[in-house]
Structure 1
């Protein structure tokens, strides 16, 4: 695989592209610092993606809401909100509001059972201030892990019984067993630790075989690991800050960032795609039990 296999999906470049998701034939992603959700699909205006939502707070990641077309659950600002077409965000929980130091949500995903898992971090990336939250289907919010710094993922295996979680600042990915009924986590076990010069694990996704694909911030690569944490694939990307990865439509897609690049090249901040035989399960949706 060569770095020049990648092509921009459209001309736009983003300060901090994140949260790539392939859903119903379209690629969704966010510009985190701008607080904007975009989508792009075949037949769209080739010059720009479609703007789906704009918030006045940072927007980390989204998941679709089952049975409610056009609605998304989002990790944004100090908490979790429902995004509805033509309406103001409806906050489900704001657990980081009023924290002793400024905090924001960072990354998120649903498990196959329909719960939403969202991470938080200090706005200045202060060590150990971040958390992992679980939003249950009844809308209740539970802080399930603390002591994180820049938590990314989470990503679930196809059964929803294994959770992978990265702490980018520490170069570490851990795995937890998950009780599919209650959502309770087992103890963390090391999955991958990246060494100096290997980049920092950022956004992740799991394919149909249960292999974990990890965007490596600062390294210009995507790594693929088997369920035992063995490195099986290295995909070069032509810009250093690779932030998330998604599979769909016979392609691998990545978001990238201009953020903190003194001399960004032509691919920095672009949403890129390349042909890929890898397939992945549909993006898991939030399945609310409330109106």
Structure 2
């Protein structure tokens, strides 16, 4: 999936020059927002980290603090998010989801269902360094029941590798027996299989399940489960089928209807901008008969909108 991002490293990059440009954009009366947003969206995250260091060296000040004091609203939130390293952005998102008022299940599900095993292990490590807390314990302390069990399994980041030919049929049968065939649902089977098998293996199981039951696995999950457990199982299934299609759907939901879910919009646009945003855009166009670019344009405004459109990197009209 490498190279499917919309934001690329800037050639001829000079951290000191960029730091100076940003300093000038914030100095004196009024802030030059256009310069700030253009510069930061045309540098990779690694380059933004170098700019941050250069700014500190040249001016003895913290770039992010300066940006916060000059910018406001959703535009500020978006720019500050771009200045975090990818892992720190995930870590702080999870921390707020657990420690804010009430648990934000949507954030826990979105991050834990979509990140690779290596990314999850890195998140756990950095969370521990940052907060001197164990992420698994924090998540377990704020959730309960089958939902908690599924999140804890995802946090183990120990999915089997590859496809186990010998167990495709038996996995499909176990899912069928746990749901469609049974009075009441055996949630544990769903959790064990969906939490521990590789995406490639699960795609084969879903095909076998459909042959067996006549249903897509998503339909079965929707009928047999509810609440947080249903949401996390569906997210895992969708990510096993296609991570870009999963994010396209999350973005569509964040933009449609009355009021934009800006937190989700910012989180996905920032976290996927260097990974697979081109694929997300293509999946979006295919699923929703409109482009991500158009929806962002229609549902956001001002410098916030301009920054999102630059991250989006083009229109698939």
Q: State the TM-score, normalizing by the size of structure 1.
A: 0.31
Larger radius of gyration: 2
As a proportion of its length, which structure holds more helix?
A: 2
Higher strand share: 1
